Structure 1
Amino acid sequence: MKKMLVHGQKDMLQIAIVSDNALYEYYMEKTENAGQLVGSIIKARVINVLPGMQAAFVDIGLPKNAFLYIDDVLHPHLERQPKEKPLIAELLQPGQELLVQVMKEPLGGKGARVTTHFSLPGRFLVYMPIADYIGVSKKVSTEAERSRMRAVGDKIRLPGEGVIMRTAAEGESVESLQQDVQFLREHWQEIRHRGETASAPTLLHRDADLVHRLVRDLLTTEIDEIWIDDGSVFRRTKAMMKRLAPAMLPRLRLFVPQIGGASLFQQERIHEQLQEASQRRFRLKSGGDLVWDQTEALTVIDVNTGSFVGSSDLEDTVFRTNLEAAEQIARLLRLRDAGGIIIVDFIDMEEERHREQVMHLLERLARSDRTKCQVVGWTRLGLLEMTRKKVREQKMPPSKETSGGRD
């Protein structure tokens, strides 16, 4: 049973996705700060150009200037790029104004990273006004459906446009997909029109708030039930589902707590699980444990057998512990929103087939991560190397004072 739980408060909205009572995804957003910075489209001004770095810094209206690399200035389609990369100074000059989109939030002491490869996500597809190519989600189940979706994408786009067909588009009619791309196309034209008269830096578009993204991005057919404990959020979600995902409406439910009873998040131990996930040492059910050491760019995870001694030989004990560790590592990477380089020191395994099974399990689990996650492979020292793209500040679990019932 996979459930989405939505907890509304006066100043915060929290979303948890649980499967068989285990927390797998968690999102929170302050209501006074509705909408994330990633995805925002801004009319920016070039502040300085760095030929040695093939990059520029641009003013997007934040305390720190944003970083714009040359690859994000060239055409999004590799086949449309020049054979020899030009100098950044040939493309951008200080004082120049241009539209950019935030692709990475300011992290630590670094400013945001921006691009001119624009994309606007809809329910069924991502619209890219100048990309000139078609993509299909890797999660689409069959090659026949992938081919159909690619053909539909080619039919509904205009020359020069690009679209990425999302998993939610699987089985959808041409009419539904046409409506999605037309809405996004008109929205892009509005953004461009406002940008023609705006003074830099000016925010022209901000991505939808968490309630909208709940329906647009998080709601899939894998979700069996959607529970919401706030009447206002419930009504907004219901209205949005009627427009974007009407077939899912029977799964939507309003949670009304009993007087003195547990809240929605308390019933599923959401905040307890978040606290457990954030500890340096995480206990595995078998008795083994994971030890996490994390910096801004590197996460190191050490797997130990702990008190688990197994029931047969040492190799079997080690293998089973590593399999359990791989499952939890994939889950905890999402909950911690870890990014950058990830090094996992699994317990040494003698048999190569066991090493391959552990890596393949982690690869399969990484594919379900909404954030781009790649298993690179085993290093010469026997460590497993991964990378995970981090686009925003790491979210922290609410304090215990704010984690109880409705406020």
Structure 2
Amino acid sequence: MKLENSTCKKELVLQSQSHKIRAAVFEQGELMEVFEEEGGSSHLVGNIYRGRVENVLPGMQAAFVDIGLDKNAFLYVGDAVPSRFEDDEKNSPVLQDRIEHILKPRQELVVQINKEPVGAKGARISVNLTLPGRYVVLLPQVSYIGISRKIQDDHERERLRDLAEKAKPEGMGVIIRTLAEGIDGEEIAEDIAQLTEMWRTLQPRIPHVSVPGLVHKDVDLVSRLLRDWIDQDVEKITVDQEDVARTLRQALMEIEHPAAKRIFVVSDEDLFVKYGVDDGIRKALRSKVWLKSGGYLVIQQTEALIVIDVNTGKYVGQRSLEETVVHTNLEAAREIGRQLRLRNLGGIIVIDFIDMTSKEDQQQVIEALESACSKDRTKSQVLGLTQLGLVEMTRKKVGQTLAVRYTSPCPACDGSGRTYMIEK
């Protein structure tokens, strides 16, 4: 779905429906991502809990922890110990010890959700707590400074590192977020100070929370959009509630964001219908995706593997077969980047582009795919061609897929899409 006559780099649409808030992100008029939150309770990542270890599984080097949700949360050994970093550039702890030496059944823990529950799997948790702000993430339990890998200028990285070193409290750490690029030291220091105050207010309350129980809840959808999504590319925001517009204007004026003057209220229309969001979601739930040229993609998903097939379809080109193939593959690469974000697909992704004999053409398509994924906030990596000529890539699993949020398995076929012609 593409908005007509839209020239905005990035545009947000927020719609309130009874107890639900829905948000859509458009880039150059194309629908890229959709979020929703019902009753303020559907988002769990970032929440902090007191929990109790139920099972320790040495064979899996993991434990299951009761934090008060429907399913016990999953705690991997690498997330069960305080982080120790190998060097200043790696935001990954050094693996140490075995799970049975760290945890015992009935042991009480303070943990934070870092991955939403998906399907039959419970939430994934960590004992390493973080408090995210707009420009930094505070690490209250470890002294460390990290810089977002998306900030590539060496001078800017050094500037931000110096600012963080001066502003962070003794014994605590910070990770500088991508949004901090080009931001002055005063704003970054203020962000760190606010998060530090939040932690110092939160810490004394922890022992008084019952087990299992919620210690700290992450902010609501509107606040998360302000914190995580409204970057310098956002040029326009449309909402259907004046109070939401007022909140956004005030917050954006405080950080001198130009979009504060481009917040529009449209209260007499269904914004998701007006902007074609629901229609875009319906199309993204189909396995076949048509390209503008007449080619198409077929996207099939399993729990850990996504398979995408590229076809020329109705597109026959004009000059040669080679030109037709390259044109289709380049268009497909750009659309695949969008579909991965819109559907929120994660895991191992294998793409069967139409065969190309030229190494230059193959590299051009891979670069187009990398470019299409470069603005994705969720970490992805294009690994290149396999021996079979397939393109392999990965995308981190974050939250629930669009299919999980908007569909349920068919009771007749158990979600396979096919029904039996013989009695079960």
TM-score above 0.5: yes
Task: Tell me, yes or no, if structure 1 residue 6 matches structure 2 residue 20.
Answer: no
Q: 1:42 deviation in Å? A: 0.5
Q: What's the TM-score once normalised by structure 2's chain length?
A: 0.87
Q: Distance in 1 between matches of 2:360 and 2:94?
A: 43
> Which residue number in structure 1 is paired with residue 28 of structure 2?
20
Percent of residue pairs identical: 43
Which residues in structure 2 correspond to 1:6-405 (within 5 Å)? 6-30=14-38, 32-34=39-41, 36-79=43-86, 85-140=96-151, 142-244=153-255, 246-257=257-268, 263-395=270-402
Cα distance change of structure 1 residues 244 and 193 upon mapping to structure 2, 3 Å threshold: farther
Q: 1:35 deviation in Å? A: 5.7
Of 65-74 and 387-396, deviating more is 387-396
Q: 1:140 deviation in Å? A: 3.1
Q: Distance in 1 between matches of 2:94 and 2:262?
A: 52
Contact 1:77-1:132 at 8 Å conserved across structures: no
Of 43-52 and 280-289, deviating more is 43-52
What is the total number of aligned residue pairs between the two structures? Answer: 394
Q: 1:44 deviation in Å? A: 0.9
Cα distance change of structure 1 residues 199 and 172 upon mapping to structure 2, 3 Å threshold: same
Calculate the aligned-residue CA RMSD, in Å: 2.2
Q: Distance in 2 between matches of 1:229 and 1:49?
A: 49
> Which residue number in structure 2 is paired with residue 403 of structure 1?
none
Q: 1:355 deviation in Å? A: 1.1
Cα distance change of structure 1 residues 294 and 185 upon mapping to structure 2, 3 Å threshold: same
Q: 1:242 deviation in Å? A: 3.8
2:360 aligned counterpart, secondary structure: helix
Q: 1:247 deviation in Å? A: 4.7
Superimposed CA distance per residue, residues 357-407 of structure 1 (whole angstroms, 9 cap, x where no aligned partner) = 2112212222211112222221111111122222322245769xxxxxxxx
Q: Distance in 1 between matches of 2:58 and 2:85?
A: 22
Q: Distance in 2 between matches of 1:117 and 1:89?
A: 18
Cα distance change of structure 1 residues 249 and 387 upon mapping to structure 2, 3 Å threshold: same
Contact 1:283-1:289 at 8 Å conserved across structures: yes
Cα distance change of structure 1 residues 266 and 125 upon mapping to structure 2, 3 Å threshold: same
1:145 aligned counterpart, secondary structure: helix
Letter in 2 for 1:115: S
1:53 aligned counterpart, secondary structure: coil
Q: Distance in 2 between matches of 1:61 and 1:84?
A: 28
Q: Distance in 1 between matches of 2:372 and 2:173?
A: 29
Of 224-233 and 154-163, deviating more is 154-163
1:79 aligned counterpart, secondary structure: coil
Letter in 2 for 1:18: F
Q: 1:251 deviation in Å? A: 2.4
Of 139-148 and 380-389, deviating more is 139-148
1:240 aligned counterpart, secondary structure: helix
Cα distance change of structure 1 residues 47 and 263 upon mapping to structure 2, 3 Å threshold: closer
Gaps of 5+ in 2: 1-7, 408-424
Gaps of 5+ in 1: 400-407
Of 155-164 and 244-253, deviating more is 244-253
Cα distance change of structure 1 residues 358 and 82 upon mapping to structure 2, 3 Å threshold: closer
Letter in 2 for 1:28: E
Cα distance change of structure 1 residues 56 and 153 upon mapping to structure 2, 3 Å threshold: same
Of 248-257 and 184-193, deviating more is 248-257
Superimposed CA distance per residue, residues 232-287 of structure 1 (whole angstroms, 9 cap, x where no aligned partner) = 32223233334455554112222244xxxx64333332222222222111100011
> Which residue number in structure 2 is paired with residue 402 of structure 1?
none
Contact 1:58-1:67 at 8 Å conserved across structures: yes
Contact 2:249-2:261 at 8 Å conserved across structures: no
Contact 1:24-1:335 at 8 Å conserved across structures: yes
Superimposed CA distance per residue, residues 179-221 of structure 1 (whole angstroms, 9 cap, x where no aligned partner) = 1111111212233221122221110111111010111111011
Letter in 1 for 2:282: Q
> Which residue number in structure 1 is paired with residue 3 of structure 2?
none
Letter in 2 for 1:95: R
Q: What's the TM-score once normalised by structure 1's chain length?
A: 0.91
Q: 1:335 deviation in Å? A: 0.9
Q: 1:333 deviation in Å? A: 0.8
Q: Distance in 2 between matches of 1:83 and 1:296?
A: 28
Cα distance change of structure 1 residues 29 and 50 upon mapping to structure 2, 3 Å threshold: same
Q: Distance in 2 between matches of 1:7 and 1:63?
A: 29
Q: Distance in 2 between matches of 1:331 and 1:291?
A: 14
